[in-house]
Structure 1
Amino acid sequence: MTAIYIGISGWRYAPWRGDFYPKGLTQKNELHFASRAISSIEINGSFYSLQTPERYANWYADTPKGFVFSVKAPRYITHIRRLKDIEKPLANFFASGIFELKEKLGPILWQFPPSFRYNPESFEAFLALLPHDTAAALACAKGCEPRMEGHSLLKIDRKRPLRHAVEIRHKSFVDPGFVALLRRYKVALVIADTAGKWPYCEDLSADFVYMRLHGDEKLYASGYSDSAIERWSKRIECWSRGGQAPDANLITPRKPRARRSRAVYCYFDNDIKVRAPYDARHLIHQLGLEHGLQATPGKPGMSDDKPNDDRETTP
């Protein structure tokens, strides 16, 4: 199998303290702990506001060799500007310090709100702006606004590939033309398990697979059972070998370009009940990917036997 990264979306959650995080562990050491229990983390603070080069550099230093971060792109671009006049915001994002992650920089996640409808022209214009290596991202970053002076990083350690993934939440995206567009620009369609709330599609459109598991029964809350973890592990094994599940839920019957392998990035986002880190560990165990990771408290394989609540967020 090729590279498989299993992790969590974010790592700073108060309910995790004294549970996944050992009692007494200081907040500043939480990333150090989490990054040795799983192989990847999706940074979501970058969704709410631009981070700084110092923060990215600290995150790089706190994590072990081989660890990978995915970075959630700013909601200012996807939710507020809604892809209108985004050249400067895009430059500001790439200038904000993500180059400090160096070889630990994984895919960039672009999540769109449930109210955002698919428009082929505007969406292709957006995809055409996305850089596919760090050299191109640096060229984009150099167009940042003057306000970024003193809060930016306009250099890279070397040219590296840059991947992008798109998470959609409006049914208008269930359009074969959308998948064809993603394939043309080599952007992944996020396979998002949202307890049936938003479209679930497994079309492969890039040389990697990006998964977000928000909960299969209750959004952001329910844990994944042993059988669910086994099902996901089989799918991941299939995708990593370049294949597709025979029962895949697809937008288009047109097959993607044949590949011998695909990298897989999988993030659990069912954090309300402190399920995400344990489900990630359970899936890591199921795939036999524990080598080099530390043991964690609790029982990663434990099914969710706690009552769910109705709290929902938009991480």
Structure 2
Amino acid sequence: MTVSLLPYYLGCPSWSELAWRDHLYPADAKPTEFLQLYGQVFNAVEGNTTFYAQPAPATVAKWAASMPEHLRFTAKFPREISHGGDLRDLLPAAESFVQLLKPLGGRVAPFWLQLPATFGPQRLAELVAFIDELQQPVAVEVRHPAFFARGDEERVLNRLLMGRQVERICLDPRALFSCTDQSAAVLDAQAKKPKVPPRPTAFSQCPQVRFIGHPNLPANDSFLVPWVGKVAEWIEEGRTPYIFLHTSDNHRAPLLARRFHEQLMQRLPGLPALPEHPREPVAEQLGLL
């Protein structure tokens, strides 16, 4: 089975964790080989790195040379755009970012706009203008409490997004916040992630889910069960959902992603298993790095 045949997109927050040599990459794999190896097992990756810093054009060229065509890269707009002020004023910066990633072609889909908790209902006009003028596939993650209150403000947001077939990214951190471990990684993740209730919406063909997991993999199962059902339902409706699995330090994120897929296989008989181990990367492509 090749991962490109899956009826949904599955992945982790990055491809570059050195700790994944324990269970995903060969022990002697070079970091420059990770992207190709990752793409042999998963068909999507969350573009967290672009939130913190824009890649250099040479880096994008390297990604384009080694990123498999089937892989989807949900690149986050840099925080100086999503958190930098009026979104209408930042459209030129957003368009420049889109141009920067042009070498990746259709592999960037959709772009993610992760908004701060301070971005509330009074700023929805900015969001509408940003989406309408950018004219790129975009998914939006909101964190303001009003958008989780099941009131008029949440309904207005949902109508605006649904009318444009723009996904509302569903962040589900419940498993993380159920953890009582006092390790530095858990405490850091709990401090950074918003404690919001999940909103499993599907406003387009490609619903988007971020699941922030417990470091003890079996402790995630009760939280995964509803997502297994929901993702299966979306697939049966003919949608192509994206789901990304995190753990507190992400060292076990690929294992959690496999765990989710194995449970989905039980719900969808005939769904193929993920490849067990990535093969050696393609030498010709690696020579372009």
What TM-score range do you get, normalising by the shorter chain?
0.7 to 0.9
Residue 67 of structure 1 aligns with which residue? 71
> The residue matched to 1:77 in structure 2 has which SS?
helix
Of residues 196, 199, 204 in structure 2, which corresponds to 1:198? 196
Residue 241 of structure 1 aligns with which residue? 236
> The residue matched to 1:225 in structure 2 has which SS?
helix
Is the CA contact 1:20–1:274 (under 8 Å) kept in the aligned structure 2? no
Distance 1:124 1:104, change over 3 A: closer
Cα distance in structure 2, aligned partners of 1:43 and 1:60: 14
- What letter corresponds to residue 257 of structure 2 in structure 1? A
Of residues 166, 183, 207 in structure 1, which corresponds to 2:162? 183
Distance 1:273 1:51, change over 3 A: closer
What is the CA-CA distance between 1:82 and the residue it aligns to?
Answer: 4.9
> The residue matched to 1:268 in structure 2 has which SS?
strand
Is the CA contact 2:246–2:256 (under 8 Å) kept in the aligned structure 1? no
What is the CA-CA distance between 1:127 and the residue it aligns to?
Answer: 2.2
Of residues 206, 226, 241 in structure 2, which corresponds to 1:264? 241
Aligned-residue sequence identity (percent) comes to 26
Residue 94 of structure 1 aligns with which residue? 98
What is the CA-CA distance between 1:271 and the residue it aligns to?
Answer: 4.9
Of residues 79, 85, 99 in structure 1, which corresponds to 2:83? 79
* Alignment RMSD: 2.6
Is the CA contact 1:6–1:38 (under 8 Å) kept in the aligned structure 2? yes
Cα distance in structure 2, aligned partners of 1:59 and 1:285: 29
Distance 1:231 1:200, change over 3 A: closer
Cα distance in structure 2, aligned partners of 1:2 and 1:295: 15
Q: Which runs of 5+ in 1 are unaligned?
A: 133-162, 243-260, 298-315
- What letter corresponds to residue 106 of structure 2 in structure 1? E
Residue 130 in 1 paired to residue 134 in 2?
A: yes
- What letter corresponds to residue 73 of structure 1 in structure 2? F
Deviations 1:70-109 (A, max 9, x none): 211111111123525112211211121x221223222111
Is the CA contact 1:17–1:23 (under 8 Å) kept in the aligned structure 2? yes
Is the CA contact 1:165–1:190 (under 8 Å) kept in the aligned structure 2? yes
- Match runs of 1:131-280 below 5 Å: 131-132=135-136, 163-174=137-148, 175-195=154-174, 197-215=195-213, 221=215, 223=217, 225-242=220-237, 261-272=238-249, 274-280=251-257
Identify which of structures 1 and 2 has the higher relative contact order when contacts are C-alpha pairs closer than 8 Å and 6+ apart: 2
Q: Which runs of 5+ in 2 are unaligned?
A: 149-153, 178-194, 266-270, 279-289
Cα distance in structure 2, aligned partners of 1:171 and 1:272: 26
- What letter corresponds to residue 109 of structure 2 in structure 1? G
What is the CA-CA distance between 1:180 and the residue it aligns to?
Answer: 0.4
Cα distance in structure 2, aligned partners of 1:38 and 1:203: 23
Distance 1:222 1:262, change over 3 A: same
- Match runs of 1:4-83 below 5 Å: 4-83=8-87
Is the CA contact 2:48–2:76 (under 8 Å) kept in the aligned structure 1? yes
Q: Aligned pairs, how many?
A: 243
Of residues 269, 272, 275 in structure 2, which corresponds to 1:294? 275
Higher helix share: 2
